[in-house]
Amino acid sequence: MPESSNENSTGPVNRAALNQAVGEIVVATPGPGMSDISRQIAGWLNEQSAVDGLVTLFIRHTSASLTIQENADPDVQSDLVDALSRLAPEHGPYRHGMEGPDDMPAHIKSALTSTSLNVPVLDGAMALGTWQGIYVIEHRARPHQRRVALHFLGTVL
């Protein structure tokens, strides 16, 4: 196939230059639970004029995490938080306790979930499923300000 072709074996090739943007959002969590950050991320991508590419999210904490989960029924989020609490109960036999009884269980819950996510961006929007949202999961017993670093790599308008 000649080099000037606009197609390869998987379809059209986008020859637009790749751009990147970095940023951060701050999420105020109310305590244990899940906070939907999908709109904040979509707004940030819009500010970057993102078209097609990949957005990477990274939570800068060891006692909170990220997940992609159902956004239609809030019972799903409650059940997930409850399940994590059963896996790592607050008053377990932990050595680490200098930051309070909720700290070590929070570290365990963070280790069981994700600290980073990658989401494709297609035609200016995250390619999430119909019932998917992006959440910060707060594992500590009190409110926090959580920082999520963002990196977009792709084409822009």
At 66, which CATH number?
Answer: 2.60.120.460
Confidence of residue 8 (pLDDT cuts 50, 70, 90): low
Tens of pLDDT, residue by residue over 38-97, are: 999 999 999 999 999 999 999 999 999 999 999 999 999 999 999 999 999 998 899 998
- Tell me the average pLDDT of the chain: 92
Give the domain extent around 129.
Answer: 31-156
Residue 20, pLDDT > 50, answer yes
In the chain, what percentage of residues exceed pLDDT 90? 87
Q: Please give the pLDDT value at position 3.
A: 44
What angle, rounded to 10 degrees, do the helices at 74-87 and 103-112 form? 110
Residue 11, pLDDT > 70, answer no
| CA-closest candidate to residue 132, choices 73, 55, 49 | 73
Number of structural domains, the chain?
1
Q: Please give the pLDDT value at position 97.
A: 87
pTM beyond 0.85: the answer is yes
Q: What are phi and psi of 70, to 5 degrees?
A: -60, 135
| Within a domain: 134 | yes
Torsion of CA 112, 58, 121, 156, to 10 degrees: -170
- By the 8 A CB rule, do 140 and 35 touch? no
| Within a domain: 102 | yes
In the chain, what percentage of residues exceed pLDDT 70? 90
Q: Please give the pLDDT value at position 4.
A: 42
Confidence of residue 1 (pLDDT cuts 50, 70, 90): very low
Q: Which residue has the higher pLDDT, 13 or 83?
A: 83
Q: Please give the pLDDT value at position 2.
A: 42
| Within a domain: 54 | yes
